[in-house]
């Protein structure tokens, strides 16, 4: 990823009498037609950056020894000027063979939508391993058509263009589309200039946006899912009438009369637009990528991780009575966890070949280390039985905490506030002792799941001191209030820790979480989910279902993910850590052919680098070379491949 500036100048160091000659006047006109200006540096010490520097030689003057300067003799300059024009065109196109697949992400930081889109697009490009250039709209003067033609797709990351360049930029993008380019407008089309590019008329009315759907051929797994927007955030959406040839990708009220995203052909090119800036959110990075891949066939890397966490497990029992199913007598919670919850979850883990990650916690009280070790896992207690059953079944048991207080010096809704790193370290040392008493002297946890998904830097340091073996830190992926979501990779504060965040939780896949779940499966290509043994005990988390009902819901959630992404590799949190380290070091190079893409994978992680492509729809697709096809959907035009290194080609006709 890099910031780029389109070239605007050709520098001409020539005397006035020389450039009045018709050959030079014609040269200037040609450049103007290409979107370039002639700049006369007159031998300035520091001329501005130019695409090309040209110097007219005085009679008898030797050519410049500087290879960056083209020297033109005053006698019969016409052939030399012709050669210069060729050179200018080639430099603009940047044509190399073979041609790398490259996208241009243009945006600026004017307003929240633009700033958010710019940030999320940079993560999209990073996770997808796109070859992407960024262009700052704020300082943009002009974009030469030939320069733009080097890009397979252009994403305009804003809900409004700078007034000074709006008209000329839209005209340039229109010519780019006509010539076969791909343009994505993820920021809405309320702006007149942006909307004019789509050819759609102004809004004919508006309606509250409370629920929406996507075509499952666009968003994998979207069949039967209605994504809900909380009442408080349900802004009115403008209603647009789309041309009949437009394909609706997502929409409210069934789509056509309230489109949210659509694809339309423009000349030889393709445009994908969102009518409202729904994509300006971390939870929509996958939709942003899908919009781009709908407009132009690209290759996107996948992290390929299916993670299943059981937080607060093993856990202390409180003795509280639980109604497991309607009509059944109540049982103490510890007995429910041991005798019913665990056998059911164990079966589910086996049926779905999950690689679960358990997170052990000693107490839920405000119990602090100066009160001694809580006796919550006494010999003969159901909590100890549960802990040993999980461990005996061979599962990875990591840690959640001494108590459920976030490791924070600040008192907040998740923590009573620790007095310092010393008290955190003492508590964690006591947790270590209890862990080894329960699971065995030779066992050490290697992952830490932060209580309430919150931990301060000081807490991470205390953790590393008490558990030097811990290499994984898990909180959550999405931002939530003051909790800043994690990314998959080294922790920015303590890089020895790999961050393996969670994307979703609980037993249900529905309008409240399905979009986030399906989105992260597209990008970064991860399912990361957690449940708690006491979800049944919380009316909000159980949603009034009994235990068998909750097991059915969780089963259908896992089945839904498997149907859409059956190739996902199951990993525990600790197994994810070396995979992530290797994944970030892998290289993915993509070259563009007229009807295909050539992919070269370097330094793949153990088990291969997984990636996917969406060829143009309704084409016959052929794979050649060293790639394993792990999934293909004709209806979705989606091919998932895995490579252990080397090159392969994806061709369509």
Q: How far is CA 427 from CA 146, 422, 510, 619, in A?
A: 64, 9, 39, 61
Instruction: List CB contacts of 66: < 8 A, sequence separation 6 or more.
Output: none
CA atoms in the 13 A half-sphere facing the CB of 208: 8
CA neighbor of 91 nearest in space, from 59, 73, 68, 121: 68
Cβ closest to Zn ion, residue 374 vs residue 451: 451
Candidate segments 87-95, 294-302, 304-312, 344-352, binder of Zn ion by CB under 5 A: 304-312
With tokens 């459920």, the residue in question is 404
Q: Maximum CA pair distance of the chain?
A: 108
Residue 400 C-beta: closest distance to Zn ion, Å: 6
| 159 is a site residue for Zn ion (CB under 5 A) | no
Residue 404 C-beta: closest distance to Zn ion, Å: 6
Are 273 and 260 in contact by the 8 Å Cβ rule? The answer is no
| 311 is a site residue for Zn ion (CB under 5 A) | yes
Q: How far is CA 507 from CA 276, 361, 555, in A?
A: 31, 21, 8
Residue 367 C-beta: closest distance to Zn ion, Å: 15
Residue 311 C-beta: closest distance to Zn ion, Å: 5
Residue 377 C-beta: closest distance to Zn ion, Å: 17
Candidate residues 152, 159, 281, 312; the one interacting with Zn ion per rule CB under 5 A: 312
Euclidean distance between the first and final Cα of the chain, in Å? 31
Count of residues engaged in binding Zn ion, rule: CB under 5 A: 3
Cβ closest to Zn ion, residue 144 vs residue 451: 451
In terms of Cβ atoms closer than 10 Å to its own Cβ (0-12, 13-18, 19+), residue 363 is buried
Pull the structure tokens for residue 119.
Answer: 């940030």
Distance CA 363, CA 375 (A): 9
Compute φ and ψ for 119, nearest 5 degrees: -65, -50
Candidate segments 19-27, 174-182, 447-455, 495-503, binder of Zn ion by CB under 5 A: 447-455
Pull the structure tokens for residue 574.
Answer: 């600790």
Cβ closest to Zn ion, residue 311 vs residue 434: 311
Cβ closest to Zn ion, residue 405 vs residue 643: 405
CA atoms in the 13 A half-sphere facing the CB of 390: 30
The backbone region for 76, taken as left when phi is positive above 0, alpha when psi lies in -120 to 50, beta otherwise, is left
| 335 is a site residue for Zn ion (CB under 5 A) | no
Candidate segments 259-267, 422-430, 449-457, 644-652, binder of Zn ion by CB under 5 A: 449-457
In terms of Cβ atoms closer than 10 Å to its own Cβ (0-12, 13-18, 19+), residue 230 is exposed
The residue with its CB nearest to Zn ion is 312
Cβ closest to Zn ion, residue 35 vs residue 451: 451
Cβ closest to Zn ion, residue 172 vs residue 475: 475
Cβ closest to Zn ion, residue 35 vs residue 334: 334
Residue 411 C-beta: closest distance to Zn ion, Å: 18
Are 268 and 149 in contact by the 8 Å Cβ rule? The answer is no
Candidate segments 223-231, 249-257, 451-459, 477-485, binder of Zn ion by CB under 5 A: 451-459
Cis peptide before 98 (omega within 30 of 0): yes
Residue 351 C-beta: closest distance to Zn ion, Å: 25
Candidate segments 182-190, 259-267, 305-313, 328-336, binder of Zn ion by CB under 5 A: 305-313
Residue 450 C-beta: closest distance to Zn ion, Å: 9
Residue 486 C-beta: closest distance to Zn ion, Å: 16
Cβ closest to Zn ion, residue 120 vs residue 311: 311
Residue 580 C-beta: closest distance to Zn ion, Å: 23
H helix or E strand, kind and range, residue 113: helix 112-128
Binding to Zn ion (CB under 5 A): which residues in 597-626?
Answer: none
Q: How far is CA 44 from CA 12, 19, 41, 48, in A?
A: 11, 18, 5, 9
Q: Write the DSSP assignment of 288-312 as a string of letters.
A: HHHHHHHHS--EEEE--EEEEEE-S
**From residue 186 to residue 205, what is the string marking binding to Zn ion with x (rule CB under 5 A)?**
--------------------
Cβ closest to Zn ion, residue 259 vs residue 451: 451
Candidate segments 70-78, 112-120, 445-453, 469-477, binder of Zn ion by CB under 5 A: 445-453
What sign does the CA torsion over 286, 289, 295, 298 have? Answer: negative
Candidate segments 309-317, 330-338, 475-483, 621-629, binder of Zn ion by CB under 5 A: 309-317
Cβ closest to Zn ion, residue 340 vs residue 404: 404
Cβ closest to Zn ion, residue 474 vs residue 569: 474
With tokens 């992530």, the residue in question is 580
Cβ closest to Zn ion, residue 165 vs residue 438: 438
Cβ closest to Zn ion, residue 151 vs residue 414: 414
Cβ closest to Zn ion, residue 294 vs residue 311: 311
Pull the structure tokens for residue 283.
Answer: 């939870």
The backbone region for 79, taken as left when phi is positive above 0, alpha when psi lies in -120 to 50, beta otherwise, is alpha
Pull the structure tokens for residue 47.
Answer: 């001329």
Distance CA 340, CA 115 (A): 49
With tokens 């429910």, the residue in question is 336
Residue 366 C-beta: closest distance to Zn ion, Å: 15
Residue 622 C-beta: closest distance to Zn ion, Å: 49
Residue 451 C-beta: closest distance to Zn ion, Å: 5
Residue 312 C-beta: closest distance to Zn ion, Å: 4
Residue 611 C-beta: closest distance to Zn ion, Å: 34
Are 168 and 35 in contact by the 8 Å Cβ rule? The answer is no
Distance CA 401, CA 379 (A): 20
Candidate segments 136-144, 270-278, 312-320, 373-381, binder of Zn ion by CB under 5 A: 312-320
Cβ closest to Zn ion, residue 277 vs residue 451: 451
Candidate segments 23-31, 265-273, 306-314, 492-500, binder of Zn ion by CB under 5 A: 306-314
Candidate segments 27-35, 67-75, 386-394, 450-458, binder of Zn ion by CB under 5 A: 450-458
Residues that bind Zn ion (CB under 5 A): 311-312, 451
């Amino acid at each position: 990823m890099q910031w780029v500036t389109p070239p605007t100048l050709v520098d001409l160091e020539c005397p006035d009498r020389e450039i009045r000659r018709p050959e030079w006047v014609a040269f200037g006109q040609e450049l103007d037609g290409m979107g370039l200006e002639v700049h006369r540096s007159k031998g300035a010490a520091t001329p501005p950056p130019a695409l090309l520097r040209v110097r007219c030689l005085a009679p008898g003057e030797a050519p410049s020894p500087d290879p960056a300067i083209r020297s033109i003799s005053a006698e019969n300059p016409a052939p030399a000027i012709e050669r210069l024009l060729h050179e200018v065109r080639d430099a603009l196109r940047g044509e190399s063979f073979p041609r790398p697949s490259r996208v241009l992400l243009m945006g600026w930081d004017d307003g929240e939508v633009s700033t958010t889109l710019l940030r999320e697009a940079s993560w999209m490009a990073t996770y997808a391993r796109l070859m992407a250039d960024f262009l700052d709209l704020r300082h943009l003067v002009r974009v030469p058509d030939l320069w733009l033609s080097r890009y397979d797709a252009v994403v305009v990351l804003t809900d409004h263009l700078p007034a000074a360049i709006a008209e000329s930029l839209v005209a340039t993008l229109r010519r780019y589309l006509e010539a076969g380019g791909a343009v994505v407008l993820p920021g809405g089309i309320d702006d007149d200039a942006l909307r004019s590019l789509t050819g759609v008329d102004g809004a004919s009315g508006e309606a509250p946006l409370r629920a929406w759907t996507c075509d499952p051929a666009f968003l994998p797994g979207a069949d039967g899912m209605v994504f809900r927007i909380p009442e408080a955030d349900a802004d009115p959406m403008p209603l647009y009438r789309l041309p009949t040839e437009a394909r609706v990708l997502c929409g409210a009220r069934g789509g056509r009369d309230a489109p949210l995203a659509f694809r339309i052909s423009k000349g030889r090119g393709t445009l994908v637009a969102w009518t409202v800036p729904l994509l300006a959110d971390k939870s929509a990075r996958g939709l942003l990528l899908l919009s781009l891949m709908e407009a132009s066939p690209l290759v996107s890397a996948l992290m390929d991780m299916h993670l299943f966490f059981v937080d607060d497990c093993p856990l202390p029992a409180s003795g509280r009575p639980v109604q497991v199913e309607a009509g059944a007598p109540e049982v103490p919670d510890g007995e429910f966890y041991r005798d019913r919850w665990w056998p059911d979850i164990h079966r589910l883990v086996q049926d779905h070949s999950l690689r679960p990650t358990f997170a052990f916690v000693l107490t839920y009280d405000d119990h602090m280390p100066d009160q001694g070790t809580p006796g919550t896992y006494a010999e003969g207690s159901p909590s100890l039985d549960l802990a040993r059953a999980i461990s005996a079944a061979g599962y990875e048991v990591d840690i959640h905490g001494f108590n459920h207080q976030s490791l924070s010096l600040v008192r907040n809704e998740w923590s009573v506030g620790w007095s310092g790193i010393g008290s955190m370290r003492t508590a964690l040392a006591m947790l270590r002792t209890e862990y080894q008493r329960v699971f065995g002297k030779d066992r050490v946890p290697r992952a830490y799941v932060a209580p309430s998904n919150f931990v301060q830097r000081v807490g991470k340091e205390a953790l590393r001191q008490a558990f030097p073996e811990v290499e994984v830190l898990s909180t959550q992926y999405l931002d939530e209030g003051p909790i800043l979501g994690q990314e998959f990779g080294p922790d920015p504060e303590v890089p020895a820790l790999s961050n393996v965040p969670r994307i979703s939780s609980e037993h249900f896949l529905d309008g409240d979480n399905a979009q986030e779940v399906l989105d992260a499966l597209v990008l970064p290509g991860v399912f990361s989910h957690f449940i708690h043994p006491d979800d049944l005990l919380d009316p909000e988390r159980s949603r009034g279902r009994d235990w068998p009902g909750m097991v059915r819901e969780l089963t259908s959630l896992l089945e839904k993910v498997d149907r859409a992404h059956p190739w996902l590799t199951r990993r525990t949190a600790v197994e994810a850590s070396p995979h992530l380290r290797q994944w970030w070091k892998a290289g993915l190079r993509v070259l563009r052919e007229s009807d295909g893409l050539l992919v070269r994978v370097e330094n793949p992680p153990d088990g291969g680098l997984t990636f996917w492509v969406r060829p143009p729809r309704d084409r016959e697709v052929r794979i050649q070379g060293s790639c394993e096809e792990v999934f293909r959907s004709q209806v979705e035009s989606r091919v998932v491949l895995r490579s252990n290194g080397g090159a392969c080609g994806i061709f369509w006709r």
